[in-house]
Amino acid sequence: MATFKTQVVSVAEDGAVSLAVQLLSHGQLVAVPTETVYGLAADATEHSAVQQIFAVKGRPSFNPLICHVADEAMAARFVQVDPTASRLMAAFWPGPLTLVLPALPDSHISEAVSAGLSTIAVRCPAHNVTRTIIKELGRPVAAPSANPSGKLSPTSATDVMDGLGGQIPLVVDGGTTQVGIESTIVAVRKGDVYLLRPGTITPDDIVNELGIPVLANDNSEISAPGQLLSHYAPNASVRLNATTQQANEILIGFGPVAGSLTLSHDGDLLEAAQNLFRLLREADKRGSAIAVAPIPNQGVGIAINDRLKRAAAPRGPAKPEAF
Ligand code: TXA
Ligand code: MG
């Protein structure tokens, strides 16, 4: 694999956008900030560039990628946007909601993006600079989280460098991400909405917008193949629902459970989501064992517990888990 002297360029610097666009248009990979986590971007229509994403991350080829677009019109060039999908885009884009939609024939999107599925996941990120990069490139970018496969997602340019430094030419530095965990993923199929991955946009938010229920994903045809049980794994072991700290442990607190680090003193779930990966990384640097306080399993807490469950799962050969 090629090695690079990775450049880290702030979004505030003149020329950051044009450098990113130039590299992407030449089939190179660029790490970009989004409101959720940093993404490892490639021109989604350039097969060899998309293949490099899988190589650099060590990502299994059966795990499809999200296509990031500048707006609904760009998405409509390669996926079928039915009225339900269009209402979701109008309500939540730009923002942390990914829609899995039927791919149009002759979409020009690399087959590696959808990993052989008949659907493509699309998302319009709420980060101005990254949306400008996509707009100027004029094509969608495929971008998974910018971390080695199975490891913690990156919420800063430094996190990206820790995992992928030397393997990509450019990291666009947009500071620390606001949302902190990956987007909510829903599949829209024949007007029905199925939850594939929980995030900070909750099923209640969607129900309030659409007035129709969000269904559990019990349909194997539309499962998210990347939902592996061991995922988001720090090096240290992780113990959940901890109320006290045991020997050799770093306790990450929440609300009434005080720890050496805390997700949110006030028990604020959005604040906890924003801090989650950052604190898991911090605790991982400090110790060999991590304990995490209980997080209420409601609202955004469902997404936090989903990531924690995967961080705590036994490691070893990746096995797809029905979700
Ligand atoms: O917030 C996010 O979504 C971040 C930022 C960078 O946008 N991206 C992200 O990508 O989390 P990644 O690759 O780490 O996770 C994408 C998930 C995987 O679990 C994958 O299996 C699922 O989306 N996915 C992608 N395309 C799919 C499809 N056509 N059908 C079902 N699941 C799909
Ligand atoms: Mg990921």
Query: Ligand 1 atom 21: the closest Cα is on which residue?
Result: 226
Atom of ligand 1 nearest to the CA of 185: 23
Residue 320, pLDDT score? 43
Residue to mutate (ligand 1; options 37, 119, 185, 229; most atoms within 8 A of CB): 185
Fill in the amino acid letter for 175: G
**Helical segments of 58-211, H only:** 72-75, 83-92, 111-114, 128-137, 157-164, 203-210
How far apart, in whole angstroms, are the C-alpha atoms of residue 254 and residue 145? 25
Any atom of ligand 1 within 6 Å of the Cβ of 120: yes
Q: What percent of the chain has a predicted confidence (pLDDT) above 70? A: 93
- 81 CA distance to ligand 2 centroid (A)? 25
| Mean pLDDT, residues 19-37 | 98
Mean pLDDT of 140-159: 97
Q: Ligand 1, atom 18: nearest CA belongs to which residue?
A: 226
Q: What's the mean pLDDT when you consider all of the chain? A: 93
State if residue 113 touches ligand 1 by the CB under 6 angstroms criterion.
no
- How many angstroms does the Cα of residue 276 sit away from the middle of ligand 2? 14
Per-residue pLDDT reduced to its tens digit, 187-207? 999 999 999 999 999 999 999
* 291-306 mean pLDDT: 98
* Gap from CA of 278 to ligand 2 centroid (Å): 15
CA–CA gap between residue 252 and residue 291 (Å, rounded): 6
Closest listed residue to residue 85, CA positions, set 187, 223, 182, 199: 187
User: In the prediction, which pLDDT does 2 show?
Assistant: 81
Residue 110 pLDDT grade (very low, low, confident, very high; cuts 50, 70, 90): very high
Stretch 282-295: mean pLDDT, rounded?
93
In the prediction, which pLDDT does 233 show? 83
Does residue 239 carry a pLDDT above 90? yes
